[in-house]
């Protein structure tokens, strides 16, 4: 799954960053580095790729989610709208590499939580109401829609729990 690939890349990148910056230790500093890479790669890059799938491979993506039959004005229009949401969260996630303000990061986390938990609700509704158990509806995508915001919130809380050090720790 491409989503798991981007999570692995984010964790590896954060590990390399922390190995090169041995001065960044402690819960707040490490959480800030992990959060930056999770926002930028696991959320940012993976959501940009998700948007590309919804735009450039819309029919097969819709079928993988269980949204069939395919038609350009119904399912196709939905795919494009979903792609724009993915693109928006992807771009804001990527911006966290350049905008290292914790308040901006909190806004991105809130955006991601609303987006992904809303998506999770939709997947669960499709499972219960329409018995939709397609892999991209009830599989890893559902679990990542639930877990990603929780991980972001946890990392943010751990970063902030360090007090002002979470705000000033260089990432």
Give the per-residue pLDDT at 147. 97
Give the per-residue pLDDT at 73. 67
Cβ atoms < 10 Å from Cβ of 132: 18
Give the per-residue pLDDT at 151. 98
Lookup: tokens for 109:
């986390």
Three-state secondary structure readout of 92-115:
HHHHCCCCCCHHHHHHHHHHHHHH
Give the per-residue pLDDT at 165. 46
Instruction: Give the span between the Cα atoms of 32 and 38, in whole angstroms.
Output: 10
Give the per-residue pLDDT at 37. 98
Distance of CA 60 to the CA centre of its chain: 21
Instruction: Give the span between the Cα atoms of 16 and 46, in whole angstroms.
Output: 20
Tens place of pLDDT per residue across the chain (171 aa): 688 999 999 999 999 999 999 888 899 999 999 999 999 999 999 999 989 988 888 788 878 888 776 666 667 777 888 899 999 999 999 999 999 999 999 999 999 999 999 999 999 998 998 888 888 888 898 999 999 999 999 999 999 997 554 444 455
Give the per-residue pLDDT at 70. 65
Write down the domain spans for the chain. Answer: 2-165
């Amino acid at each position: 799954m491409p989503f798991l690939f981007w999570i692995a890349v984010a964790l590896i990148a954060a590990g390399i960053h922390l190995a090169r910056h041995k001065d960044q230790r402690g819960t707040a500093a490490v959480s800030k580095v992990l959060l930056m890479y999770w926002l930028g790669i696991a959320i940012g890059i993976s959501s940009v790729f998700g948007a590309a799938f919804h735009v450039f491979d819309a029919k097969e993506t819709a079928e993988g989610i269980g949204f069939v039959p395919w038609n350009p004005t119904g399912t196709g229009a939905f795919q494009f709208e979903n792609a724009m949401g993915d693109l928006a969260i992807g771009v804001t996630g990527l911006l966290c590499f350049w905008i290292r303000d914790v308040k901006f990061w909190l806004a991105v986390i809130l955006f991601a939580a609303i987006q992904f938990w809303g998506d999770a609700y939709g997947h669960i509704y499709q499972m219960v109401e329409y018995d939709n158990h397609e892999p991209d509806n009830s599989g890893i995508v559902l679990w990542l829609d639930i877990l990603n915001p929780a991980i972001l919130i946890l990392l943010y809380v751990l970063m902030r729990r360090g007090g002002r050090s979470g705000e000033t720790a260089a990432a």
